[in-house]
Amino acid sequence: MTMKKILLTGASGGVGTRLRRLLKPIYPDLLLSDLQSPAGLQADETFIPADLADAAAIEKLCAGVDGIVHLGGFSVEGPWETILNANIVGCYNLFEAARKRGVKRVVFASSNHVMGFHPRTNKIGVEAVPKPDTRYGLSKLFGEGLGALYAHKHGIGTLSIRIGNFGDQPIDERRLAIWLKPDDLVQLIRIGLEKPDLVYEVVYGMSDNKRAWWDNANALRLGYKPSGQSEDFAAAALEAQRALPKDPVGDHFQGGSPFCSQDFDNNLEALKKRL
């Protein structure tokens, strides 16, 4: 696929700030968007502010765009109205604008929190039943569904990446299982934007992690070759883990703290037996 103009939503967030610098050499015509201007915007960077909840603004933003990397939205748990407008209505507006403007590809930043209530003892692939751990995780599951709908009904090739923990290194025991090196996320994004004949795929956004809870065979099938290895940082991560408070709920489930344990009022021991 020839991808000339790429739109990066959520460009002012933590992941977006890092990605905009990593993607610029690959896609020189990179359009950035968010509610607020990114810090340190350079002269060679193009930024257009837009609210995902504003359908007309998002449709205008997508004019002339070949591919979209959709990071935009509310990135942690929040009140229902916040999640609804930013992650559900906003995501719908993005895919609908892509359809209207003839965008060829969308890379959707999903989340590991789509699967958060799977126990850490279970290794799961993309075919496992979703078990979102928050309203935020639920909204990302909705986004995956939108991607599938627009891929199959409207021909927009879509890759949903269930991002683990994005950063330079894993900083605790949980992150040893779910760490995603920035360069590896770039590789997955390029697969989503450029791989020929891609219709709709889901992959886990993780590096080569020895302690992984996820089977990322689908990403490998698509040509993914992660370079990061979380085990290189195991000693420091496990040392840092000793200083963290115990969380019976968060420590049992893949979604961790506070995603699984916030507002949790179920019977934990009974739930463990059923899962």
Strands 46-49 vs 67-70: parallel, antiparallel or unpaired: unpaired
Phi-psi region of 268 (alpha: psi -120 to 50; beta: other; left: phi over 0): alpha
- 106 bridge partner residues: 68, 158
The radius of gyration of the chain's CA atoms, rounded to the nearest angstrom, is 18
- 6 bridge partner residues: 30, 67
Q: Which residues contact 220 (CB under 8 A, 6 or more apart)?
A: none
Residue closest to 186 by CA, chosen among 20, 7, 9: 20
CA distance 67 to 62: 9
92 an active-site residue?
no
Asked, as a colleague might, if the bond just before 119 is cis with ω within 30 of 0, I would say no
Residue closest to 59 by CA, chosen among 102, 27, 5: 102
Helix segments in the chain, DSSP class H? 14-23, 55-61, 80-83, 90-100, 135-154, 173-178, 182-194, 217-221, 234-241, 268-274
Q: Return the structure tokens found at 39.
A: 């810090």
Q: Are 146 and 193 contacting, i.e. CB atoms less than 8 angstroms apart?
A: no
Q: Say which of 136, 150, 204, 224 is annotated catalytic.
A: 136
Q: Kindly list the catalytic residues.
A: 136
